[in-house]
Structure 1
């Protein structure tokens, strides 16, 4: 029984201890939970503290909390010790930034003061310039006004002098010239209106004075003396009537007025011959006519015939001046797109103006597209109109067939070589003319050149000569020079194409915005290169209608220009620092250009011919991408060198830019000291090579 009691007592003790341990673990877990809640929740701790103080273990919790605080303090101390050096470095860098910021602020203040000062001076100079420009405009306006008024005043003074000298007939001529030629130019001025109002009175004064002088004269002399005086005065007046005005050649109206004046003089004399009771006789009239002209309808006309031939030359000059405006309007109004014929009527309308023959075009369905623009049929028709106008003038000159044909050919050649050629040459040099328009103009010159034969046939048909195929056998007969002219114009247009292509390439290349200190390349070519390649493909597709030589030359010029421009970007002195990632991005762009060059954008090139234009840039980039400096220095100067086209001077510029980029701390690859030493070593050897090259040269 005793043994059993002892056993039971021992079991009870164990149970009590186990219960105590279990309760102690539960308290610790509870306290640990409270600590986690306090650490996890930043603001609302009320319920947690209330639970702690409701129990009897808040003393133990405080011990647990103190132990947890000590652990955190140790963690903080350990973390601070670990990051202490970095913190010190950051503080030092921050102090340096503050110093540099102060310097930058001072520099900004100084620059702002300089700008304010310069702007003030510029503003003052601008005001002076505005005032000077106003004075200049006023002076120019005054000069223009005086230039308009001076001929009027001079003519009016001449009129007054003639009236004082009793030269009434010249005074009437001067008055007419003043009224119709000069006063309309200055109609806006008050004195011109006063002069215009006085003209009827002046004309009446001349009439009255003339009548008075005639009456006095008739009373003072006998009849036979008057006849002699009248005939002598009319001879003088005939000479005045035959003198052509200085502005006669400016318009057809001037010729018409002149001829009317000459004819009118002799019509009056013929009327006096029949009604003047012997004041004018046949012998006197023959003498005056012989002085003026020659013989026709009873009078000699050799001198008049020579005069008409001279007028013909001036007439042709006036025509060519008129056709200058005609050609300019044609060139300005043309859209320079191939003519589209939607219906048979449209097609036949073009063929009737310009007889173009093409079997493939005739068989093609509607809409049909002619290879030329509206400029070709318009110019062809306008040249024909000019030929017809020249021939109309010579109809009554009694010229032989050969003389007519020779005259028409000479006039037409002048129109082609001087007027048409000059207008078209000026037009293709206009800055607003696009590349596709220049290509269409070049195509147009081919068809205008072929139209030379059609114009030859037209001249032969109008003049009644034999078929144009036998014209070459004529001795001394000139040929139309259309072929030569349009070949020359086409050459100028081709040069303009090359220039316009380079300008367009420059516009796209100007969009390049490289970040020369980029940390990583984009992984694909730049957007401006994509646009550049797309533009070139579209452009060279439009070159299919041109001669292969022109397309090839344009393609070679484009590749050469792009390669040079990219190399210039790389070596630009304004770029002071550079990263290797920027070189890699440029390399991606060059690869795209090389792929375009290798795709044979224009047929007829030998394999790799266009790639040669990128070889300088390719070898330079390959050298820096691979850092194969040992091969470069070992093979330098050898004909089979892998980097034969890499000049030491160019490599020096890029190495210096890379070194400056490394100093700015923006590199990810060149942070290591061995990379810095490599750059220094390469730069030193490149400078030695460059110096050796200069000594040899």
Structure 2
């Protein structure tokens, strides 16, 4: 296979291609350098062809001789070939010249192109450097923008985003920028930027702490209001359901009911507390590994705020607002405890609570030290109960609060007792000692709801016709009303106290016992001593009877009032004795009017006139007294005993010097009259008051002194006779006999004297 011939390029071909080259197109913004490649290649090929032609020419010249030989042999052919060769040579020469010209042109053009290429490459290198610089600058700008945004985010409160941006800068992947001094300087400034974020979030938290201090009172206010509403709601339910009477707010039953009502003291219509600043600060400090610093700072700040809550000295008027602020403070602390994990120390909060409540109770105690109004203590107690129940709902230990409330209770009990003692004194002092009147059933039922009376008496009074005169006076009704109020206020004070006072019933019992004894019973006793009107005393007796019944009824629910019962019994005895005393005083007046002749010459058949008046007065007065029949009987007994004593004193006392047997007989006529009158009013049993008088006088009138001297007879027949009185009567008879002028009388008088001496010798130590 013949070798592939190289393509032949004529001068026209080359000129034509050169004419087609347009290195710079005026209508194009880019260079057409790519068109130069084929032309240069063609020129190179032409140069190779020219070299080839030169080689061929050399060969031709070396072969001239051979050619001449050949030409000689082949002259014609040779001439023809030479002609052709000369033509070729001419063409070759022309081509060489053309190539030389073209080479110069190409060299000139190529030089310009090389310069342009060099300039272009330099421009591209500069452009690449510029691009790299731009890229670096843009990277720097992006970093600087991030840093700038960090500042803006700090100002906007986006602290976590700012911190994350710094972390993004620190954790950027390695780039050409990473090795620059700018970037290294930027990295060295990151701790400072973190410090700025830390300072900013700390300042935000400090402001938040100030804000929650200002809003704590509102939080506590809505929490206390919610508890008051809860207490009222439960109280209403307890009143409807007797089975719930013994349960209190906070019990399991009540709590199940309350859980259905959602209430958040930190987020409601009145107040909203945003904990985001604190949470954000905790997050930032945790990321900066500085949470312990924040924890210590927070604890110190809250401790300082708790120290500033309680003013010194404390004004009771400021107590409601103070309790609201304390409640809000610890409600916020509870929320922080529950929502921040281990950030807040539960022990620290408990210590703050114990310290602050301890200072609170001490301050209240000092403020109330001079308080004498029990109502003020009751108001303080209500505030403390509401506060304690509210804080119990947030799991705070309120035992010390309840202990302090019980301390207030004891003080309250003393003040209340003192207040009611004055009230009872006034009631009894102003009593008119007349029966209380009721006009209608409503008034009657109102009174019956207050006083303590037996069921039979109540039933009897209910059946009685209206208007009605009640057995007791106004003072009994008012005292019963005050006693009920007294007891109610006692129990109201401890209502809601979770821990029961160990001696609360004993405290109330002792206080009530003191009031009943010292300020009702003894007041009645003192008034008895200055009252001379029997009807008023009789009313006091009736009141005392009802107070005794009241004591029994009260003791059924409250113990330790036995002293009052014995006091009323004693005062009742004094009242009855006072009636007897007044009656005997009046009887003395009647006896002063008596005109007995103690040595009459004859015996009377009719009683003394003064006894008619005496007994009529006695029955009129005693029967008019509105007291029990048993007390009337005692009054009759006392009066009859006094009459018997007076008559006996006439016979044996020192006021009558001497007496004869006729006077004794007249006395017995009066005794017979009295016994008949007593029998007529149905009180014949009272005649035993005259047994001694009759026995003593029977010894005289029957001359049975010698029988009396016999011990066995004396013990059986004359047991009621007192020897001294018998001796005195015998001496008076002896004195009368000695004063007579007739011998029989004088002898009888002497006998009476000897009998008196005999009686005195038998019983020398026996009193008269």
TM-score (norm 1): 0.47
From the CA coordinates, give the structure whose radius of gyration is larger. Answer: 2
TM-score (structure 2 length as normaliser) = 0.43
